[in-house]
Structure 1
């Protein structure tokens, strides 16, 4: 509609708004009362106005094209193949298989899957022969396969390479040349979020992580996958994904890499809880919304009971249906760039990108990501951020409903644990200190479980 219906109203400048707000505050200081600072050092104003707005560089979001992904851990081939086919009929649009055994019969695993289905392979090993097999199948089926290979992510998470620095990177370079029908490179950014890194750190570490591959892999002929965990700070998380894509494209251009990144997003585990577990559905819903609006290519939801139950049909169905509701009933797939022009989100995107770029430059000036990971600098910085967030949770300033706010004292969980929901102790010799994923509620939940045990013994 070209006709402006509000010409009779005089425009109100940001200065006029501030003057009115100051009047309503009755002498209280505007900055002290209404402006707060995020853990990333970003000052959040009570309103954003177009006369103070500077648009960020255009970010090609793909909200209208996002696909719903189903995670499947492969143990029994026949069951996994049947489950994959079933979930596709029930609304999933892509699949992500986690495979730990390099002797897995991939052709049998894919036997019931339609040829046009996008498939991600998250491998617990690095095998040139196995990836070549996937490449051959992709060529035969004209399939869209993303093989999530990330040796640096393996080092960061486990403390050891698959084999060694030289052999792992040599394997990547061999795969890059030999396997032209698959996407072969991935960066596990979710590790940093789940371990407690703030948003600026997450973006900067992801870019520095990517930069190591740009420097060490001679041929990158396909888009790089960014595996991202999305937290509960709704607008910040939208801006995080936008800033990540913006900076990735800036970095890639320096290496004449013309492909946009491919973002697969999943809700974080850091704020998920064992008690009052149904609240996890509310958390994952807003986190999936942030992922879609932020421009994720693929969203893989986290089941509400993923912390303590093995994979089960009910949990998977609820998680899948959350995304189906967002896509087909809430119309999240109708606009590609829904956040464009939103002053607050644009400002957050710009500030997060600027701060992350400054941190990225500092990492590169001090030897690069891999050097700082081996020296322990990255782990220390993440730990410092995680401790600050933990203190906010422990003092009640960061709230998880049902856990540190309005807990149900009659809630019992010790009888329902199929999985160990806490950080696992696995003493072993490692090359470096690994980045440890830890949930905010772990200590509180362990105390409650111990209390349950005491009560049952009495």
Structure 2
């Protein structure tokens, strides 16, 4: 069977001809005012994209690495966490991310009988310890394990308002870890920017500035850097965001002679998740995971539909894991090369997001860098401005969360089901900077509904 060009018998239609036809069908209405809309990032989105308006070569596809399904496990009881990890891996998870609560945690006990040869283990550390990092590195070396430490003092600063100790000691320890460990140790925790309301250009620029602080302050980074990203529901924009992130990271890393690609681990955002009609969260996380995969994430850790108000539970984790298993084994998201390459719309979004983020990044660096602007409060103020605009869209009904500000179920009751406090927690404490506060769009509306429940 010959491979014929199926469209050779059809005459090509230029973008100019399409526009003329559209203008005719609009019957006098203005093309730009009617069909071109602008995103919160200032990107003008056209009604169609054409290859004669772009230099993209759609015939060149980049190869994709199959994404890895990650299960999050908070380690409080080592034996129970070990048993849960074993069970989770047998049920379809391909990687485990342990959040370690204590420096005294025994790595040997935690990893007992866990498969090491083809499984990656992340160790998310809410503390900064050279001794613990060395312990994990030694265990990985002896057992030929693939381990990734997740350490981020700047992320600690943005979330808590304080360093682990102070800037000098934190970076002294980080430099020691960099020189003593062979495994990846550095993570850029960027989810806080999105969950607090930053737009996509801000998220990318702040991430780049976040990385740049480490390149400037750590003398030698010979391991891949992990970037933890949260993904929202704006499907095509989120695909483009992850693609732009990798482009920007590699461009920056090249300036520091860092030739290793980043490791992107993606998680659905909490910002658009809801307490009422919570099953809709499964639809949201499914499209968000799809965006992450098509955007080129190396690993995806899904968010359980009930994560806002329930403690970790087997049912919620199983549903979240099965969403990814369906995407991988029934939807075949891991069987093709990167399907976003050559798509004119996504390529255009990728270029525009990257260009705008690079411009903002340069402005941040001109004005002292990320840490300086965090101390001055500039980053927090910019995020608050963006978050306020999005909140106004939600409050007015222009940004819709189905089941919450559109078609709510008035009979839905949640007051007696809350195991966790699902709203912003306020703590009175002395901080070096004003922390970046994560807040969901539906919080105010949900609090009012809870108060009015009978």
TM score, norm. by length of structure 1: 0.97
Q: Distance in 2 between matches of 1:326 and 1:30?
A: 38
Q: Say if 1:57 and 1:380 are closer, same or farther in 2 by CA, change over 3 A.
A: farther
Q: How big is the shift at 1:54?
A: 2.3
Structure 1 gaps, min length 5: none
Q: Say if 1:423 and 1:26 are closer, same or farther in 2 by CA, change over 3 A.
A: same
CA contact (8 A) 1:96 1:122 kept: yes
1:341 equivalenced with 2:342 (yes/no)? yes
Alignment match, 2:172: 170
Q: Distance in 1 between matches of 2:341 and 2:286?
A: 22
Secondary structure of residue in 2 paired with 1:69: strand
Q: Which runs of 4+ in 1 moved over 6 A?
A: 56-62
1:137 equivalenced with 2:139 (yes/no)? yes
Q: Distance in 2 between matches of 1:168 and 1:277?
A: 40
CA offsets per residue over residues 292-349 of structure 1, 9 Å max, x none? 0000000000000000000000000000000000000000001231100000000000
Alignment match, 1:67: 68
Q: Distance in 1 between matches of 2:212 and 2:60?
A: 20
Secondary structure of residue in 2 paired with 1:184: coil
Alignment match, 1:296: 297
Map of 1:87-166 to 2, 5 A cutoff? 87-116=88-117, 117-166=119-168
Q: Distance in 2 between matches of 1:265 and 1:61?
A: 20
Number of residue equivalences: 452
Alignment match, 2:17: 16
CA offsets per residue over residues 124-149 of structure 1, 9 Å max, x none? 11011011000001101111111011
TM score, norm. by length of structure 2: 0.98
Structure 2 gaps, min length 5: none
Q: Distance in 2 between matches of 1:60 and 1:364?
A: 34
Map of 1:409-448 to 2, 5 A cutoff? 409-448=410-449
Alignment match, 2:4: 3
CA contact (8 A) 1:59 1:245 kept: no
Instruction: Give the aligned CA root-mean-square deviation in angstroms.
Output: 1.4
Secondary structure of residue in 1 paired with 2:186: strand
CA contact (8 A) 2:187 2:227 kept: yes
Alignment match, 1:45: 46
Q: Say if 1:58 and 1:240 are closer, same or farther in 2 by CA, change over 3 A.
A: farther
CA contact (8 A) 1:274 1:307 kept: yes
Map of 1:249-288 to 2, 5 A cutoff? 249-288=250-289
CA contact (8 A) 1:307 1:419 kept: yes
CA offsets per residue over residues 254-290 of structure 1, 9 Å max, x none? 0000000100000000000000000000000000000
CA offsets per residue over residues 199-225 of structure 1, 9 Å max, x none? 000000000000000000011011100
Q: How big is the shift at 1:56?
A: 8.8
